[in-house]
A = this chain, B = another copy of it.
Amino acid sequence: MIAMIKPDTDPAQLHSLTGWLQNLGLKTYLTQEAGHTILGIVGNTDAVDMTMLTGLSMVESVRRVSEPFKLCSRGFQPADTAISVGDGEVKVGGGHFCLIAGPCSVETHEQIIAVAKAVKSAGAQILRGGAFKPRTSPYEFQGLGALGIEMLLEAKRETGLPIITEAMNPAQLPLFEQVDMIQIGARNMQNYDLLKEVGRLKKPILLKRGLCATMKEWLMSAEYIMSGGNEAVILCERGIRTYETYTRNTLDLSAVPMLKQLSHLPIVVDPSHATGQSHLVGPMALAATACGADGLMIEVHNDPPHALCDGAQSLTPEEFYHVAEKIRQVRAVVTMNSAVTK
């Protein structure tokens, strides 16, 4: 850890700081440059309260030499992690590419069965569907809840596809016992009590990036889950908030190769929520595949009511079929010789 000390700092204050750090069992080194003092701090620097240290009047800035994440870091585990889902036939990461598809919300028994069959035949390996829905407004539809999970389980029995659905609250977790993968949504990425709870489970967690989360914060949230004992974490990029208004969010695809360097965890991309427009889903799905994503999560619905929805955020089964085909072709090109995307 390196702290920049401001010019004209009282030497007595600085001495007091180094003494305090040494009491924490750390070694300190001082260097001078251009009037500034650089304080090197070596040892178990986790013991140091960064906020406190950064806030000291004599301190200009503080920087950790090593990243604060450990279990999820590439340094801790050099090889890519492959995560088994359900009975273990489906894998994500470590060379395994995974297509997750399904409707935004579970609506009816018929809908979810029909979509499940359609996406399976197009090559999807996991079925998604929302049962508990985080909605900005308390007056909007909040999802079918437990009933929605029931319907997903029926679709699973019918098609054999493992299922993923979102949990919003530790108290809901008992309902998720037969769910194969639990999604933590963007708004709950820093709901630490929820992260701790799913960290005690033994099933894969798909952790969506918060709407304004840095990659570092996102990895720290993965670390919350992993430090609880559950190492089956899949990261899911779903767009960040910027000033741009033509697209709902800004899909940050450079996070894919960047995270590949920082972490061994699989990374999946959700182009449907990020863009909010079906005509952008196909191109961004291909782009995500091209830059090395380990999978995609795409919204598909089967029953556009009154033929209204053929252009909504969701793809129709037919559109999904064609996109999935292209995805496999792009994936084939990318993995033919992995030198470039490494």
When distances are taken between beta carbons in the complex, the residues of chain B under 8 Å from A240 are: 242, 244, 250
When distances are taken between beta carbons in the complex, the residues of chain B under 8 Å from A140 are: 46, 49
8 nearest CB pairs, A to B: A57-B311, A212-B212, A55-B312, A290-B290, A287-B291, A283-B291, A187-B190, A287-B287
A25 at the interface (CB under 8 A from B): no
Q: Which residue of B lies closest to A256 (CB)?
A: B283
Give the residue of B17, B139, B326, B339 whose beta carbon is less than 8 angstroms from that of A227.
B139
When distances are taken between beta carbons in the complex, the residues of chain B under 8 Å from A289 are: 290
Known: A63-B63, A305-B20. A49 touches B141 (CB 8 A): yes
Counting chain A residues whose Cβ lies within 8 A of the other chain, the interface size class is: 35 or more
Give the residue of B68, B168, B246, B337 whose beta carbon is less than 8 angstroms from that of A193.
B168
When distances are taken between beta carbons in the complex, the residues of chain B under 8 Å from A19 are: 306
Q: Which residue of B lies closest to A50 (CB)?
A: B140
Query: Complex formed: what's the CA distance from A214 to B243 in Å?
Result: 7
Query: Complex formed: what's the CA distance from A137 to B341 in Å?
Result: 30
Give the residue of B66, B258, B334, B339 whose beta carbon is less than 8 angstroms from that of A322.
B339
Query: Complex formed: what's the CA distance from A286 to B104 in Å?
Result: 29
Give the residue of B34, B54, B134, B334 whose beta carbon is less than 8 angstroms from that of A66.
B34
When distances are taken between beta carbons in the complex, the residues of chain B under 8 Å from A256 are: 283
Mostly, the A contact residues are: mixed
A286 touches B275 (CB 8 A): no
When distances are taken between beta carbons in the complex, the residues of chain B under 8 Å from A162 are: none
When distances are taken between beta carbons in the complex, the residues of chain B under 8 Å from A188 are: 190-191
Q: Which residue of B lies closest to A67 (CB)?
A: B60
When distances are taken between beta carbons in the complex, the residues of chain B under 8 Å from A275 are: 254
Cross-chain pairs A/B with CB under 8 angstroms, 16 sampled: A20-B305, A51-B276, A52-B312, A55-B312, A56-B308, A56-B311, A135-B192, A138-B223, A212-B212, A212-B243, A250-B250, A254-B280, A283-B292, A283-B341, A289-B290, A326-B340
Query: Complex formed: what's the CA distance from A322 to B334 in Å?
Result: 12
Q: Which residue of B lies closest to A32 (CB)?
A: B42
When distances are taken between beta carbons in the complex, the residues of chain B under 8 Å from A36 are: 65-66
When distances are taken between beta carbons in the complex, the residues of chain B under 8 Å from A88 are: none
B280 touches A258 (CB 8 A): yes
Q: Which residue of B lies closest to A244 (CB)?
A: B214
Known: A244-B240, A290-B289. A311 touches B257 (CB 8 A): no
Q: Which residue of B lies closest to A168 (CB)?
A: B193
Over the window 201-220 of chain A, the binary record of Cβ atoms lying under 8 Å from chain B Cβ atoms (1 yes, 0 no) is 00000000001101111001
Among the interface residues A40, A245, A288, A333, which one has the most CB atoms of the partner chain B within 10 A?
Answer: A333
A279 at the interface (CB under 8 A from B): yes
Among the interface residues A190, A227, A245, which one has the most CB atoms of the partner chain B within 10 A?
Answer: A190
A285-336 interface with B by 8 A CB criterion: 286-292, 305-314, 322-323, 326, 329-330, 333-334, 336
B58 touches A311 (CB 8 A): yes
Known: A56-B309, A134-B192, A334-B286. A244 touches B253 (CB 8 A): no
When distances are taken between beta carbons in the complex, the residues of chain B under 8 Å from A187 are: 190-192
When distances are taken between beta carbons in the complex, the residues of chain B under 8 Å from A286 are: 290-291, 334, 340-341
Query: Complex formed: what's the CA distance from A136 to B216 in Å?
Result: 9
When distances are taken between beta carbons in the complex, the residues of chain B under 8 Å from A7 are: 75
